[in-house]
Structure 1
Amino acid sequence: MGFAGGQHSGALRRVNADRAARMEPQLILVALVLAALVGVSLGLLGGGGSILTVPALTYALGMPPREAIAASLFVVGVTSAVGMIGHARAGRVRWKMGVLFGIAGMAGAFAGGILGGFIPGAVLMILFAIMMILTAIAMIRGRKSQDPTTPGLEPKPAVARIALDGFGVGAATGLVGAGGGFLVVPALNLLGGLPMAIAVGTSLLVIAMKSFAGFGGYLFSVQLDWPIVLAFTGTAIAGSFLGVALAGRIPERALRQGFGIFVLLMGAFVLIQEVPPMLASLSLT
C-alpha cells in the first residue's frame, strides 16, 4: 500500500515537472496577469474569479479540466477570504445573512464537487462555458436594484428562500468551479434586499465558505500541482487588495457591462475549443 502510494506520488511529481518544463514564459505571464485580474474582480465586484481562473489554469498552464476546477475553488476561496477583510472593516459585510447563505451553499458545493469528479473533463468545460455565457448576458443586461438609503431599512430576507438559493448556487459552484459571486451578489441583492455594495462584501464570505466546501469534495478525485496553485493564489490575493481599494470608485454599470462582454467572449472561446473535438469523437463512435 505504502509502496503503491509512493509510486503514485513519484509519478505525480514527474507529471508536474514535465508540465512545468513545457510552460512557455509568455503563457506564465498571461496566467499571472489573469490571476491578478481574478483578485481585482473578486475585491471589486464580489465575483468573477472562477470565470478567469479555470481558463487560465487550463489553457495557459496546461492543467486538466478537473484539476483546474478544483484549483479554482481553492484560489477563489482563499482570495475571497482575504478580500472580505477589507470590506468587513468598511462595514460592508452582513454576517448573519452571509453565514445562512454560505452554509446552504457549502452543502450544495460539496455535493457538486463530488458529482463533478465523475463527469468527463470536456463535459465540465462545456457546462462551464454555458454558465459563463448565461452569466455574461445577465451582467450586460443588468439587474434592477432597490438600494435602501438607510442600513436600518434593509428588509428581512425570506430565510427558506435564501437557503434554497444558496444550495443551488453552491451546487453550481462545486460542479463546474463557477457561478460564484455573479450568482451570489444578485441573490443577496434581490432576495436578501441588500444594497449592492454590501451584497458584494457579503458575497465574499459566501464564496469563501462554499468554495472551500467544493474544494473538499474534489479532494477525493484530484491531486494538485501545489507550487503552481499557490503562486496563482498569491498573485490573486495581491490583486484583491487593489479591487477592494477601487470598490465604489468606478461606475458599477460600466464596469459590470464591460466585464460581461469580456466574459461572453471567453465563454465563446471555451466552447470553440471544446465542442468540435467532442463532436468529432462522437462521430467516430
Structure 2
Amino acid sequence: MTGRPGSAPLWLSLPALALYGLLLAVPLTMTLVLSVNLYDQTKGVLPAVSAANYTSVLGDPYFHRIFLRTLRISLITTIVAALIGTPEAWILSRLQPRWRGLCLLAVLGPLLISVVVRTLGWTILLGRTGLINQALGNLGLIDRPVELLFTETGIVIALVHVLVPFVVIAVWTALQQVDPAGERAALSLGASERTVFFRIVLPQIMPGVLSGSVIVFSLAASAFATPALIGGRRLKVVATAIYDEFLGTLDWPLGAAIAVLLVVSVVAIVLLWNRLVERRTAAVLG
C-alpha cells in the first residue's frame, strides 16, 4: 500500500469511518434542515426557511430554565461521578487480580442492565416509602420521608450510578501509564498514602479524569429515560422537552431547533473541555 509509513491503519479504517460519518451526518443534517422550517397546526410542517424556531427558544424564559436545569444536573453529575470514580479506579488498581475482576464486574454492572429497568429500580428506592427512606427512618435520621423522587437530586443519584463506570474506565487507562517506582520512592521517604495519591498519582492521571468527565457530561446532558422517569412530567430537561415537542405538540421544527441547540451547546463545552485535557496532558508529559 502506497503512502507514508504507518498510514496503513488509517487507510484500512477509512470505510468504517466513512460509514459512521454518513450515519452521523445525515440525521444531523436532516434535523438542521427541519429546524428552519415552520409549523402550522392545520397544515403541519411547512417547507419554509426561517429562524423563528431559534428565536422562539432563545427568547422564551421557559426554555432558559430547562437548559439551565440540564446544565446544572449535568455538571453536578459530572463532579460527583469524578469524585467517586477516580479513587475507585485507584483502589481497584491495587487489589489482587482475583478480587479486582470481581470488583470491576460490580462497577461495570449498571452498564449491563437496561436503562428503563435500572431507572424503574431507582424509582422504587427513591420513593417516599422506598428502601432509602425506610432505612433513614429506622436509623432515626429523619422524622418524615425525604423527597427524592421527582427532584433534581434523584435524577443526579440515578445518573451517577450508571455514569461512574465511564470515569473508572478512563482513570484506569491513565493509571496503567503511571510508573509505580515514583510511588514506592515517596513511600520510602515517609510520605503517606494520601500524600502519594494527591501529590504524585493524581497529577499524572488528571487527563484520564478529565476525559472521563467529558463522557459523563455528554451522556448526562443528553439523557432522556432517567430524567423522564425520575423527574416526572414537571421537572423537564432538554431531552424530555424535545420529546414533548415531537410527540406531544407535534411541532417537529421547534423540537428540531431545541435538539440543534443542545448539540451545539454540548459540543462547545466538550471542545473547551478537550482543550483543557490537551493542555493538562502536555503539561504532564512535558
TM, length-normalised to structure 2: 0.28
Structure with the bigger RCO (C-alpha within 8 Å, sep 6+) is 1
Greater per-residue helix proportion: 1
